[in-house]
Structure 1
């Protein structure tokens, strides 16, 4: 059925229809971005993602470095030991030198940011090659931090004896802290630090000597025992109080023991198991 001329005239023209839709188009544009706007937003989002990746990578690196400082992992470790009566010298990977006295055990740990040496038993003289990584020696609840020095550390049953030969060190315990300089010696015990006489006897072992200066025989025997495989016993309390002075060869302990009856009123008996018994004459 064909439309009449009047009906055709009543239909809106394309132009009129567009004009009528314009307000709706404008409203839609406000809610839906154009193609150009979408492309621009995509570029901005890509930039933000790249920036976030860079920031994230930087934060991850910073966190890794921070954690490594806190954890300070070990990258190299080695044990150094001497037998009873034996002495030995070592050069560490950082150029520092260690001389171990008789019956000593030293664990050397090279950490990423520090150097840590654990004197498990015995005695050692440390000559430190200085670098950006600090060096610390640990001995029986005593911490000795090198500041620039040569120093001797002896691990004892009660704590440690620290003697500075050159430079200075910082000594720490659970309850005390002290800076030591040249020719100062301290003894640590029960978390405390007490100064003791700094004599040549403290490092005489480096020259192969034992030095006694009015030392009670009980203490002399304790020192001799460090270099002697067999047991040395004092069977009489009176003998323990006798005193000994002089310098003796560190490699002639048996000769020294055999000489004692010539300078003190005592007897020395040797048993089949290499035990030596000292008693009053």
Structure 2
């Protein structure tokens, strides 16, 4: 009679199955093994060199968490503005989450601004994809020189911008080109601790243009009444009120 075919021990089969499941799990899940916290105070700018060779430049009053995962590199920009110069690696793609926006990239130079509920992504070099947080999961691929916003969790259409102006903050400059006053004041607020309050909504869309030093925004604020029909008043705690200039009698 022929010898019976030897059977593999049940324990060996179970161990093999466990290894397969473990491998599949690691391929699907992407656990974090190290996190780092970074923040800047008002008036501070900080360059952070990450362990993979990438660089993250944080603007004034910004906060970010860097997480190193098994299969990816992730940054959570809680608030503020950051410029990313990402080293390219196919093994661990780079991702930035900011509010309702998610930016995915392999290697590139781009900036992310997270102010209140609005997120703005500007691409200087390379390519990135930006997703919003809607159920449909809208996505857009940017090319260099484009900028896209996510407002109220909804992805807007990309526009062409001057990238030098968009990242001028890294050189301590604010560049406005017919920028609505409300938006300009929101940017200025990033470099000033006491609040800036726009008391008259009718002033919100007044355009402002020019190149200014963000290390001394008080000079810029004091200049506003000479170029726009508005007046300024300051409370004891430094809160600045912006109102329409009273008509001359």
| TM-score between both structures, scaled by the size of structure 2 | 0.88
Deviation of the 1:107 alpha carbon: 1.0
Most deviating of 248-257 and 146-155: 146-155
1:148 aligned onto 2:107: yes
1:62 aligned onto 2:20: yes
Deviation of the 1:191 alpha carbon: 2.7
- State which of 63, 81, 90 in structure 2 corresponds to 1:105: 63
> How does 1:254-269 map onto structure 2 within 5 Å?
254-269=218-233
Deviation of the 1:53 alpha carbon: 4.7
1:127 aligned onto 2:85: yes
Relative to 1, partners in 2 of residues 1:114 and 1:238: Cα closer, same or farther, differing over 3 Å? closer
Relative to 1, partners in 2 of residues 1:141 and 1:237: Cα closer, same or farther, differing over 3 Å? closer
The corresponding residue for 1:169 is 128
Deviation of the 1:238 alpha carbon: 4.3
* Alpha-carbon distance in 2 for matches of 1:156, 1:239: 20
- State which of 154, 158, 175 in structure 1 corresponds to 2:117: 158
Q: What is the alpha-carbon root mean square deviation over aligned residues? A: 2.1
The corresponding residue for 1:240 is 204
* Alpha-carbon distance in 1 for matches of 2:123, 2:160: 12
Q: Gaps (5+ residues) in structure 2?
A: none
Secondary structure of 2:19's counterpart equals: helix
1:115 aligned onto 2:78: no
Deviation of the 1:279 alpha carbon: 2.0
* Alpha-carbon distance in 2 for matches of 1:60, 1:87: 49
The corresponding residue for 1:83 is 41
Deviation of the 1:249 alpha carbon: 0.2
Judging by fraction of residues, say which structure has more helix: 1
- State which of 229, 240, 245 in structure 2 corresponds to 1:276: 240
Deviation of the 1:101 alpha carbon: 1.0
* Cα-to-partner distance string for 1:250-276 (whole Å, 9 max, x where unaligned): 101011111222223332222210111
- Please tell me whether the aligned partners of residues 153 and 161 of structure 1 are also in contact (alpha carbons under 8 angstroms): yes
- Please tell me whether the aligned partners of residues 184 and 197 of structure 1 are also in contact (alpha carbons under 8 angstroms): yes
* Alpha-carbon distance in 2 for matches of 1:159, 1:280: 26
| TM-score between both structures, scaled by the size of structure 1 | 0.78
- State which of 171, 189, 192 in structure 2 corresponds to 1:207: 171
The corresponding residue for 2:31 is 73
- Structure 1 residue runs of 4 or more that deviate by more than 6 Å after TM superposition: none
The corresponding residue for 1:182 is 144
- Equivalences, count: 239
Judging by fraction of residues, say which structure has more strand: 2
- Please tell me whether the aligned partners of residues 176 and 208 of structure 2 are also in contact (alpha carbons under 8 angstroms): yes
Secondary structure of 1:86's counterpart equals: coil
Most deviating of 115-124 and 238-247: 238-247
For the pair shown, the structure with the greater C-alpha radius of gyration is 1
Larger relative contact order (Cα-Cα within 8 Å, sequence gap ≥ 6): 2
Deviation of the 1:69 alpha carbon: 2.2
- Please tell me whether the aligned partners of residues 102 and 130 of structure 2 are also in contact (alpha carbons under 8 angstroms): yes
* Alpha-carbon distance in 2 for matches of 1:264, 1:49: 86
Most deviating of 53-62 and 73-82: 53-62
